[in-house]
């Protein structure tokens, strides 16, 4: 009996973004130039495969700087750190390299500017996420965290006329817009960026999934459980009424999810390697014949420069 042809939708963009690629390349170059160990505070990006690969090459991931030997080389992850962590590294004489995504650094700069101007900063984000911890640390005495629109009603601020709101870069665009609207209704004088702080890679991947979700019977999102942007893709699909699963890799695909499924969409969060998507597609092909359909929502051309110390030296153009 011939098995039914299954359609596999591949929305694009998916997988690595420029900020993730930059962070990983920083660790790789430091390992090549200095040799192991290269210490990294927290996961360089939120993906178990990336972390395992770098560990096999000599990277050592730590939770706090007190786990790093004096005078060692340490990298700050793509999610950024609080200024207090930078000061601690400098005080101990650690050779620190900052792999913070430039878009996260932009939010840090906005928080510092608003606080210096006398505003209270309201940060839209998820408590405990590494990016949020770092941003809260920019101006801790002047920053409040808001996780939901409902929480806005009980928010107490020193001066309703001096407020700025910012957001974690990896949230769902609709989530930020809903909370920002609640803030604007309660505090009409508030200033802020809101959804504009969502990084282009996060919003692009959400838009790409949104463009195909109604065609899919099930959505598979490749990403680790601690990846915020990957979780938001799963939530987006489920909100649209489509079954969705977050999977670490092809080994996590449960064939029972695909019974009687004619169309499956496969995507990946911005911290997931592209090869993992390829492996998932191959696993689907092992379950029966497939037709692969690529759906390009937008093409990303963004590139971020490496830290100055890791950029190739300019050629010496003698006379």
pLDDT given for residue 311 in this prediction: 86
Nearest to 210 by CA among 301, 300, 295, 125: 295
- pLDDT band at residue 1 under the 50/70/90 scheme: very low
3-state secondary structure of 42: coil
Nearest to 229 by CA among 205, 211, 247, 207: 205
Told to judge if 131 belongs to the known catalytic residues of this protein, a careful annotator would answer: yes
Q: Is the pLDDT of residue 167 over 80?
A: yes
**pLDDT tens track for 49-64:** 999 999 999 999 999 9
Other beta carbons within 10 angstroms of residue 106's beta carbon come to: 16
Residues 6+ apart with CB under 8 A from 246: 221, 223, 225, 230, 231, 234
**pLDDT tens track for 140-165:** 999 999 999 999 999 999 999 999 99
pLDDT given for residue 198 in this prediction: 81
Q: Which of 25, 64, 86, 131 is catalytic?
A: 131
DSSP class of 219: E
**Mean pLDDT throughout 13-29?**
97
Q: Return the H-helix or E-strand segment holding 102.
A: helix 102-116
Computed over every residue of the chain, the mean pLDDT equals 94
Distance CA 308, CA 207 (A): 34
- The answer to whether 74 and 97 have CB atoms below 8 angstroms apart is yes
Q: b/e string for 264-276 if b means 16 or more Cβ within 10 A?
A: bbbbbbbbbbeeb
**Mean pLDDT throughout 109-120?**
96
């Amino acid at each position: 009996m011939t098995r039914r042809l299954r359609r596999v939708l591949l929305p694009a963009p998916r997988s690595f973004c420029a900020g993730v690629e930059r962070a990983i390349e920083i660790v790789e170059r430091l390992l090549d130039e200095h040799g192991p160990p290269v210490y990294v505070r927290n996961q360089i990006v939120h993906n178990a495969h990336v972390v395992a690969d770098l560990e096999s090459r000599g990277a050592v991931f730590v939770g706090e700087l007190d786990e790093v030997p004096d005078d060692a080389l340490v990298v700050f992850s793509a999610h950024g750190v609080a200024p207090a962590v930078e000061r601690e590294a400098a005080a101990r004489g650690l050779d620190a390299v900052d792999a913070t995504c430039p878009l996260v650094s932009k939010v840090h700069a906005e928080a510092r500017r608003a606080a210096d101007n006398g505003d209270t900063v309201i940060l839209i984000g998820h408590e405990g996420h590494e990016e949020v911890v770092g941003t809260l640390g920019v101006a801790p005495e002047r920053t409040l965290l808001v996780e939901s629109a409902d929480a806005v009603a009980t928010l107490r601020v020193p001066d309703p006329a001096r407020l700025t709101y910012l957001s974690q870069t990896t949230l769902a665009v609709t989530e930020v817009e809903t909370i920002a609207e609640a803030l604007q209704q309660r505090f009409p004088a508030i200033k802020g960026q809101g959804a504009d702080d969502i990084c282009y890679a996060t919003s692009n991947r959400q838009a790409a999934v949104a463009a195909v979700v109604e065609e899919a019977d099930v959505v598979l999102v490749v990403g680790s459980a601690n990846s915020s942007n990957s979780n938001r893709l799963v939530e987006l699909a489920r909100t649209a009424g489509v079954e969705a699963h977050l999977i670490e890799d092809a080994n996590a695909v449960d064939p029972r999810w695909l019974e009687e499924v004619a169309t499956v969409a496969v995507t990946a969060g911005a911290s997931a390697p592209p090869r993992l998507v390829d492996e998932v597609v191959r696993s689907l092909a092992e379950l029966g014949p497939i037709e692969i359909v690529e759906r390009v929502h937008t093409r990303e051309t963004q590139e971020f420069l490496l830290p100055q110390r890791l950029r190739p030296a300019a050629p010496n153009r003698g006379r």
